[in-house]
Amino acid sequence: MPEAGFEEKRTAEYVAKTLKSYGISVKTGLVETGVLGYLECDKSLPTIAFRSDMDALSMKEETGLDFKSENDGFMHGCGHDGHMATLLIFAKHMSEERSKLKANILFISNQQRKDQGELSLSLMKAFLTHMGSKRSMVFIFTQKWRRARLP
């Protein structure tokens, strides 16, 4: 890791394995490498979704740091590693507090695109409809903080 957009196979495997280890149900392979984790508390409750980017920049990392990129020619110079770490830590905490939650939670990790907002909202809307959740809200970790309400 890190990997270029739509090539995040190892990254997606890591995210999926981590979410599963928290007892969260996982779907993979969405829009090629996207990962969805669903923490269901009660189907009658609303669902809140949190999304993070997971792709890297196509550039050589020359920081010299011990934790630098293991994939030569790619680096998380835009903060996506921080987005993923935040999402996974949050997922762990929410899974540990499942009995206290007043909403189901959807965790989304996928690649960034120019149309990421529309793509992510379409993915989430389809998944939430499939899961039977009628009321929902989405928070997206990205360079610009956004909040979207799904119909």
CATH number at 9-149: 3.40.630.10
**Other CB atoms within 10 A of residue 100 CB:** 8
pLDDT tens track for 98-129: 999 998 998 988 776 555 555 556 666 666 66
Instruction: Give the span between the Cα atoms of 4 and 50, in whole angstroms.
Output: 21
Matching residue, tokens 């939670």: 105
Domain ranges of the chain: 9-149
In this prediction, residue 72 carries a pLDDT of 77
In this prediction, residue 23 carries a pLDDT of 97
In this prediction, residue 140 carries a pLDDT of 62
Q: Which residue has the higher pLDDT, 149 or 78?
A: 78
Please list, residue by residue across 40-72, b when 16 or more beta carbons sit within 10 angstroms of its beta carbon and e when fewer do.
bbeeeeebbbbbbbbbbbeeebeeeeeeebeee
In this prediction, residue 53 carries a pLDDT of 78
pTM, full prediction: 0.76
pLDDT tens track for 13-64: 999 999 999 999 998 887 778 888 999 998 888 888 888 877 666 668 687 8
Please list, residue by residue across 115-134, b when 16 or more beta carbons sit within 10 angstroms of its beta carbon and e when fewer do.
ebbebbbebbbebbeebebe
Q: Which residue has the higher pLDDT, 96 or 42?
A: 96
